[in-house]
Amino acid sequence: MKPIQCSAHERPITKIRINRDGDLLFSVGKDGQAMAWYLNDGMRLGTYEGHNGALNDIAVDFDTKYCLTGGADCRFGLWDVCTGEKIRLIEARSPDRVTSVEWNCGGTQFLVSTFGNRKSYTLVYNFDEDKLLDPNVDDLDIQPLCIIPPVPKDKDEVFEGHTAKITEALWGPVNEFIYTASGDGNICKWRVDTQVCDIRHSFAEKAKVVVTSMEFSRDKTLLVATGKDCSARIFLADTLTQIKYFESDKPLLGAAFHPTLDLILCVGGQDAMDVTTTGAGKGKFEVEFYHTVFQKKIGELETKHFSPLNCIAISTDGSYFVTGAEEGNCRIFKFPVGFAAKFKTLENAFVDMTPTKGRN
């Protein structure tokens, strides 16, 4: 796989996303820039400028019409994807920085997660075009529909949310639940209608582990989450029951399900502060491939990045995947023709090597 490199960010990449149509890549970084790229050739479509600080997340709606950004300047932004026009920059919860943004299924609502004073909240907004797109409506009039968990009313009321930043917040099936993963070591499933935590699950049973990423499978029945304990784990989305465990030799910072194969791709690497003393070949900056049924590592790909890989995204048809790295570059990889057939051959070999006793 010969990659296409996208080089324009001047500081680390924090999040990348591929739109539903699979033709555009979106990236944000600590340089405060949000960018759009053509996926097939890596040409830059444009830059969304306006934030005053590092950006932590970016999300694009179903039709690739509007884009959300969230940053350390305590604001989330709404943008017109095609024109690059800034529609709004809204302060969510000053002085809390915005750590995650996401559209719901259907694009009728969106969430914004914030963190400050050791408390994380997720704000849910209605996507009211009459208000959001009207320049005569003041930003202060754009208020959240609800806050998860509810803000304590006095100092004696117990805070029920995450006590570290939310690293990922996702809408569940049919928008009834929101799933959050945090640096406090927990994954939570929240009811949107009541703002109550339905399930709170510790990523690792014996120790507090920073959860670095979380993504749904294509049908949203499974979640894959990664941790700084060098592991990736697959959970049933309904109950947050762990069903698979994968161990790497490096801290993992991102993972994604392949949409059509029993495969996850994991990325990470040695801590950025140690990279200056380690060569690119020894920093473990590869993409790792794990079979989700047999729980085996089936291969890895050298990316030629020279710093930790902070995130990964796969196109909805499974033809492309993209890595985003600490050095500020994205790399676009196209799966070779015949990859699915070769994967199936390897899969059959695993079946043949599996003892008959104990097979399901």
Give me the CATH number covering residue 45: 2.130.10.10
d(CA 31, CA 25): 18
pTM for the structure as a whole? 0.94
- Identify the band that residue 347 occupies on the pLDDT scale cut at 50, 70 and 90: confident
pLDDT value of residue 353: 63
SS3 (DSSP) at 69? strand
User: Which of 146, 162, 178 lies at the terminal end of a domain, its last residue?
Assistant: 162
Domain that holds residue 296: 254-353
pLDDT value of residue 358: 47
C-alpha triplet 79, 84, 89: angle, nearest 5°? 35
Any domain includes 301: yes
d(CA 8, CA 31): 10
The pLDDT of 198-210, averaged and rounded, is 92
User: Which of 131, 162, 193 lies at the terminal end of a domain, its last residue?
Assistant: 162
**Taking a C-beta distance cutoff of 8 angstroms, is the pair 210, 227 a contact?**
yes
User: Which of 114, 140, 162 lies at the terminal end of a domain, its last residue?
Assistant: 162
**Taking a C-beta distance cutoff of 8 angstroms, is the pair 255, 312 a contact?**
yes
Which of 317-328 are b and which e, b meaning 16 or more Cβ less than 10 Å from the residue's Cβ? Answer: ebbbbbbbbbbb
75-79, 234-238, 268-272 — which is least confidently predicted?
268-272
Residues in the chain: 360
Task: Tell me if the bond preceding 308 is cis, omega within 30° of 0.
Answer: no
- Identify the band that residue 276 occupies on the pLDDT scale cut at 50, 70 and 90: low
Question: Distance between alpha carbon 71 and the CA centroid of its chain, in Å?
Answer: 15
267 and 155 belong to one structural domain: no
Please give the mean pLDDT across all residues of the chain. Answer: 93
pLDDT value of residue 315: 97
262 and 157 belong to one structural domain: no
pLDDT value of residue 154: 87
133 and 262 belong to one structural domain: no
The pLDDT of 135-143, averaged and rounded, is 94
Tokens 């499933």, located at residue: 189
258 and 114 belong to one structural domain: no
DSSP β-bridge partners for residue 173: none
- In sequence order, the 6+-apart residues with CB closer than 8 A to the CB of 351 are none
d(CA 238, CA 101): 22
Q: What percent of the chain has pLDDT over 90?
A: 88
152 and 258 belong to one structural domain: no
pLDDT value of residue 279: 52
Amino acid identity, position 209: V
142 and 259 belong to one structural domain: no
Backbone angles phi, psi at 132, to 5 degrees: -65, -35
Q: What percent of the chain has pLDDT over 70?
A: 94
- Identify the band that residue 348 occupies on the pLDDT scale cut at 50, 70 and 90: confident
The pLDDT of 165-178, averaged and rounded, is 97
Any domain includes 259: yes
150 and 29 belong to one structural domain: yes
Encode pLDDT of 96-135 as tens digits: 999 999 999 999 999 999 999 999 999 999 999 999 999 9
**Residue 221 pLDDT more than 70?**
yes
Encode pLDDT of 29-56 as tens digits: 999 999 999 999 999 999 999 999 999 9
Question: Domains in the chain: how many in total?
Answer: 2
Burial of 174 (0-12, 13-18, 19+ CB in 10 A): exposed
Question: Distance between alpha carbon 133 and the CA centroid of its chain, in Å?
Answer: 27
The CA R_g of the chain, rounded to the nearest whole Å, is 20
51-55, 283-287, 327-331 — which is least confidently predicted?
283-287
**Residue 190 pLDDT more than 80?**
yes
| CA atoms 322, 203, 56, 328: torsion sign | negative
The pLDDT of 337-356, averaged and rounded, is 79
31 and 151 belong to one structural domain: yes
**Taking a C-beta distance cutoff of 8 angstroms, is the pair 330, 27 a contact?**
yes
